[in-house]
Copies of this chain bind each other. A is one copy, B any other.
């Protein structure tokens, strides 16, 4: 049993190594040859350890759900640590001229925080002036978001033979109960779609006026709903055209890749897609929530610019977390709306974080079903509709329960996270801000009021890193890993 887990981890450890090798030309092209060292060491560690594990654990590999979840948990922990290596090494090797911005990563906790934030596509950062980072570090941050958003396991599945139970491995990454990557070609098609959308995103941003380098990095971080930027102030000084171009890229990243696959490969039309509960919830949340935020801001006399409300709302629900507005300056009502949007997140099976709109939809459906059941006469049969099919309220409850359980666990983690975070906060810190930034980590969003920023304490950085991983893997793989080490039944 342990052998299979180690073998799976070994395969996955190749991923950051391959990513580091692919990043070598950037350091070369950017004239930052001192940056090659970090990538080379990362590749050596990653590929060396991965190959060693694969070689020493020969034999057939069957992934049951339990092993898969442990593999996902261990691999994500190791991969995010490996991802911190080039950042940490470049911070120490950087010549004095480019020292300022990257200096902060000389502290290993900051490098790990940035790597976790990248791979989990959260986008919280300790960098105060991202525009001054070396080009290869800007690229590495964008790349880990781009891969992490869609999933490191999905990257592997596109390459390795579809072994028995690979689907369980995929589930464990929370990307999600719908795509069935038993066929390698499906996974490859999804990757092709992802690359295609990214290229279109780069083109869009470039046409809107962004320089090419910024367009590349921002498209990668937007489509993965990651939210790292290579500017110092997010989108605050971006033109309206750029902000508008940014919006569809974020939305595409927050739409389930099953739906992209159906639209692009299977040519399914909008009418069938509208049957899906999640699509409806997505549209309703996007439109009604956006109007609510805009209307509220108009009511309380805040910024009435519809584009800025749109970018705020899309950034919240897609879990991208890039904004043109300083979150700490929002009024209480807007902050609350953003928090709700941030907690809901995007679609299951997309690159977005959060509770996922499917689960929100299931909760609503389940409550409606319960009301209809209560209103029914004793012998009346109540029928609900779900994704176009007819189901009973009891079936609805079963569907809703897994969703609700996860929501409950998320809420609990959020509370515990906030409580621990408070020990590093000054006495006069506003509790709502701690709640907001902790939720931002847990739901992989990246919007921040300033709690999670350059002044983050080491302890708080580690707490947030754990929350980001818990949120990205949807808790249970890491809980199982803890239970595994505690050896409890």
Contact = CB atoms under 8 A, between A and B. Distances in A.
A476 B374 contact: yes
Interface string A167-195: 00000000000000000000000000000
B377 A434 contact: no
Contacts of A260: none
Contacts of A336: 415, 418-419, 422, 431
A19 B209 CA distance: 74
Interface string A288-300: 0000000000010
A432 interface: yes
Interface string A354-383: 000000000100110011101111100000
Contacts of A370: 405, 476
Contact of A483 (B375, B409, B423, B431): B375
Contacts of A476: 370-371, 374
A335 interface: yes
Nearest to A428: B332
A86 to B, nearest CB: 34
Contacts of A480: 371, 374-375
Contacts of A407: 404, 408
Contacts of A375: 66, 480, 483
A489 B409 contact: no
A333 interface: yes
Contact of A431 (B335, B405, B411, B422): B335
A332 to B, nearest CB: 5
B65 A374 contact: yes
Given A370-B476, A374-B476, A430-B430, A363 B333 contact: no
Contacts of A55: none
A119 to B, nearest CB: 23
A436 B203 CA distance: 48
A483 B371 contact: yes
Nearest to A69: B374
Contact of A333 (B64, B422, B435): B422
B431 A332 contact: yes
B378 A64 contact: yes
A44 interface: no
Contact of A432 (B69, B404, B432, B489): B432
A405 B332 contact: no
Name, among A371, A431, A480, the residue most crowded by chain B CB atoms within 10 Å (CB to CB): A431
Interface string A412-430: 0001001100110101011
Contact of A405 (B374, B400, B430): B400
B332 A425 contact: yes
Contacts of A92: none
A411 B409 contact: no
Given A332-B434, A427-B331, A405 B366 contact: yes
Nearest to A376: B66
Contacts of A409: 367
Contacts of A333: 419, 422-423
A61 interface: no
A66 B372 CA distance: 10
A484 to B, nearest CB: 8
Between A69, A337, A432, the greatest number of chain B beta carbons within 10 A of the residue's beta carbon is seen for A432
A340 interface: yes
Contacts of A401: 397-398, 400-401, 404
Contacts of A374: 65-66, 69, 476, 480
Given A332-B422, A332-B431, A411-B411, 5 more contacts: A64-B378, A367-B409, A397-B398, A400-B401, A407-B408
6 contacts: A66-B375, A69-B374, A333-B422, A340-B415, A397-B401, A404-B405
